[in-house]
Structure 1
Amino acid sequence: MASVPAVAPQVEIATRAGRIAAWTGCGIVVFAATLPWWGESSWMREFVEIACYFVFAMMWNLLAGYGGLVSIGQQAFFGLGGYAMLVLGNFAGVNPFLAVPIGALAAALIAVPVSLVAFRLQGGYFAIGTWVIAEVFRLSIANIPAIGGGSGTSLTALRGIDKATREGLTYWIALASVVACIAGVYLFLRSRHGLALLAIRDNEMAAQSQGIAVGRMKLAVYVVAAFGAGLAGALYFVGNLRISPDAAFSVNWTAFAIFMVVIGGIGRIEGPIVGALIFWALNRFFSEWGTWYLLGLGLLAVLVTLYFKQGLWGYAQERWGWTLFPTRRRLLPAPAAASPVT
């Protein structure tokens, strides 16, 4: 009597909500790409600004939410990306739009030697240490007269490009950066490297005992987060046309990123998206209130932390099961085996 081999159980990642979100997102991106042909320039400028905040927040979420490396000094790479773009554009004759990804790459390269210092620290010391590193870069840049010193300088390389072309190209680069950021993080988390990163976050010693190269993975995530921060910085100052050390290396960049991630939901791809939209709305309608606006942001963050510990999207996910970017693997029951063959 022969028998049919048992069918192995299958692992599923995709969900129906995820597939709907993917097709909807593609439609939104295609529609958004047409904005420079019919929209107002103020809309494009606002999108570029919030796109920079979002990319920066997504990279901080990857570093802290998924990697467990809580940094409050990521503005170091934001500023380095911006200044690298400025130097390439003003002094090396590189097209500033081409200099945006090159500036991000420069920030990632600088992150390698910086990590040798930062990774000697653990926990709260790592967080404070990254802030100190960012301040060192700020003070160093402020003492270089060739790039404006402490008062900063303007991006003169864009003078020969008309305003409509400049704003359209900046908008398209921002849109492409947002799409690439979401897709890149999502595909990474679905890979075995993403599983390794989550294992390191949950228990570093246990992950190392299972053969995961902890040091190499943490370095890779740190460098990728630096690249994203540098990309956001280079893009922001291409749109702003002026850069200064205080603006480029301000701790507010990391503070706002933490706000967006905490409000939306840390450790979730949807978290920075929701947080960025909420931050944009609050900034759009209440920023003119000055100090009261900042107090309101802090109060909102406290309330969300107290009553929605997983963030707003985390609460919706737990209550209704919404998952637009599924990364968890679900084990499906194996099909019933065929009857034995006699």
Structure 2
Amino acid sequence: MTLSQTLIARAAQVRVSRAARSSKVSGAAMALIAVVLAALPFLVFSTVTDTLVNLFVLIALASMWNLLAGFGGLVSVGQQAYIGIGAYSVIALADQGVQPYLAVPLGALTCALFAVPTSWLAFRLRGDYFAVGTWVIAEVYRLLVVRIDGVGGGSGKGLAGMSGIDQTLRGALTYWIALALALATIGGCYLLLRGRLGLSLMAVRDEETAAGSAGIDVTRAKRLVYLISAAGCGAAGGVITVSSLSVNPDSIFSVQWSAYMIFIVVIGGIGYIEGPLLGALVFFGLQQVLADHGSWYLVLLGAVGIATALWLPGGLWGLVRDRTGLSLFPVGYHVRDGGGDVASR
């Protein structure tokens, strides 16, 4: 057999797929976990589901920040602007007679609309200036809301339209919409990153100039991911509102939300879809165990964040990926030659 015939025969044995065998098994396991989580209101006390609502909100927020910074290269410290806008949109729509749970996706749409003119301003900044600029924009939105008496001004406002719902049913509905938000943000990131926009984003993140010279519309890709992230954070703000039944401008527009997102993504693994999920679980566990320890809780969080940044630049999931090769949400390509994987991209 000649060399060319050998190469042709070898190429015929090569198969390219978007998922490894382990990914398919883990996908089935995660689907089963999602079904179990959906059934929890029928299996456990409401105190458990009420606590899990906070976890789902953290997963959604961290996934949106990871999409923005980890895949789009846009490091924002002002995503709390859209959490606040989403929360107040639910308040305003409920005052107009819209059912609060239906107002949550409408609040996400409102945030996407607000993000359009905001992006024109924010994208004039680069690097550190962009990060600081987004925080300033969030503060401007907070100051504007404080001056609107119709939504309670500086003292905040309660959520209308929930008094007629049974408390047990209300808790279950809030849990389900929070779970749906977490699943939608993870699944949405996965589907987006497997498409052309995902490839464009990662090219822009790695080298913006080279991506532009290759024909990628850099500004369009950035703006799209910024709008998607804004909508996701707005939906999370709406869930926070229907869970707490009220909103306060100082807390909902607090930069602490961005600090939570950044911490979760850093310890979980920036640039991995799995990173926010693992990081949120770790952060949530630390909250539950150490929240009653006052300042020591904050000290430990800071120590964990610093240690991860220094010794695990890829985060916890980066460590798992290096050791096992496992990918729950593969967005690259797997090349199989005969019986096994020979390369992953």
Aligned residue for 2:82?
77
Name the structure 1 match of 2:33: 28
Give the match's secondary structure for 1:305. Answer: helix
The CA distance in 2 between the partners of 1:192 and 1:267, in whole Å, is 17
Tell me what 1:312 maps to. 316
Aligned match for 2:182, one of 171, 178, 182: 178
Measured after TM superposition, the shift of residue 333 of structure 1 is 4.9
> Equivalent residue of 2:198, what SS?
helix
Aligned residue in 2 for 1:339:
none
The answer as to whether partners of 2:264 and 2:279 remain within 8 angstroms in 1 is yes
> How many positions carry a matched residue from both structures?
332
Inter-partner Cα distance in structure 1 for 2:130 and 2:189: 23
Name the structure 2 match of 1:123.
127
RMSD: 1.7
| Match status 1:46 vs 2:51 | yes
Structure 1 CA distance for aligned equivalents of residues 16 and 218 of structure 2: 26
Question: Which of 231, 236, 239 is equivalent to 2:240?
Answer: 236
CA contact (8 A) 2:174 2:242 kept: yes
Question: How far apart are the structure 2 equivalents of 1:13 and 1:38?
Answer: 36
**1:291 shift after superposition:** 1.7
Question: How do 1:1-342 and structure 2 match up within 5 A?
Answer: 10-89=15-94, 91-333=95-337
CA distance in 1, matches of 2:214, 2:125: 24
Tell me how far 1:182 sits from its aligned partner.
1.2
Partners of 1:35 and 1:208 lie apart in 2 by 48
Conserved 8 A contact 2:20-2:334: no
Structure 2 partner of 1:338: none
* Separation in structure 2 between the aligned mates of residue 295 and residue 220 of structure 1, nearest angstrom: 37
Counterpart Cα distance in 1 of 2:99 and 2:161: 7
CA–CA distance in structure 1, aligned partners of residues 38 and 320 of structure 2: 30
Greater length-normalized contact order (CA 8 Å, ≥ 6 residues apart): 1
Q: Gaps (5+ residues) in structure 1?
A: 336-342
Distance 1:201 1:332 in 2: 28
Distance in structure 1 (CA, Å) of the matches to 2:315 and 2:62? 14
1:334 shift after superposition = 9.1
1-structure distance, mates of 2:23, 2:43: 30
TM-score by length of 2: 0.93
1:15-62 alpha-carbon deviations (Å, 9 max, x no partner) = 122111110111111111111122111111111111111101100000
Distance in 2, Cα, partners of 1:329 & 1:193 = 16
- Counterpart amino acid of 2:272? R
Of the structure 1 ranges 262-271 and 323-332, higher mean CA displacement relative to structure 2 is found in 323-332
CA distance in 1, matches of 2:85, 2:121: 17
How far residue 11 of structure 1 moved from its aligned partner, in angstroms, is 2.4
Q: How far does residue 330 in structure 1 lie from its aligned partner after superposition?
A: 3.2
Is 2:19–2:334's contact at 8 Å kept on the other side of the alignment?
Answer: no
Identity of aligned residues (%): 48
